[in-house]
Amino acid sequence: MATHRFEEMEIWKRSSRLSVAVLELVDPIKLYALRDQMARCSISIPSNIAEGSERDSNREFRRFLSIAKGSAAELRTQLYIGIRARVLTEEAARPLIEEARQVCSMIEGFRRSLRGPGLLGLLLSIF
C-alpha cells in the first residue's frame, strides 16, 4: 500500500526544484506555445509524484510515477526544441536536460522498488 509522504521524497524535492528552474528559464520566451507546454510538463513531474503518493496502492503510485517519468521525457524534448529553435541557449538548457534525465532515472528506480519481489523472489523466499 502506498503510504509515502511526498514532501520527504528526494525525487519530489528534485523535480520541484527542476520545475522552478524551468519556470524561471521560460518566463521571457515569446513563443508562448513552447513556454506554456514546458511550464505544464515541468509542473506535472512533481505533481504526479505527489498525487501518486496519496493513492491507495503501490500499483496506482507506480502508474503516477510512470506519468511523471513521461513528463520528464517530454520536458527534455521541449528543451532540445528550444535550443534548436534558438529560443533557449544550450548553456542554459543543458543542465536542465541533465537534471530531467537524472530525475527520470530516480523515478524509474523508485517505481521498480514499489513492485516488490515478484514471483521469483516469493518462490526463493519460500525455499
Domains of the chain listed by start with CATH number: 6-126 (1.20.1440.60)
98/76 Cα distance (integer angstroms): 8
The contacts of residue 1 (CB under 8 Å, 6+ apart) are: 56, 57, 58
9/5 Cα distance (integer angstroms): 7
103/72 Cα distance (integer angstroms): 7
Question: What's the pLDDT score for residue 123?
Answer: 47
pLDDT in tens, the chain (127 residues): 455 799 999 999 999 999 999 999 999 999 999 999 999 999 999 999 999 999 989 999 999 999 999 999 999 999 999 999 999 999 999 999 999 999 999 999 999 998 865 544 444 555 5
Question: What's the pLDDT score for residue 115?
Answer: 84
> Degrees (nearest 5) of the Cα angle 97, 67, 14?
45
| Contact of 66 with 44, CB cutoff 8 Å | no
Question: What's the pLDDT score for residue 3?
Answer: 59
Q: What are φ and ψ of residue 124, in 5° steps? A: -65, -35
Question: What's the pLDDT score for residue 99?
Answer: 98
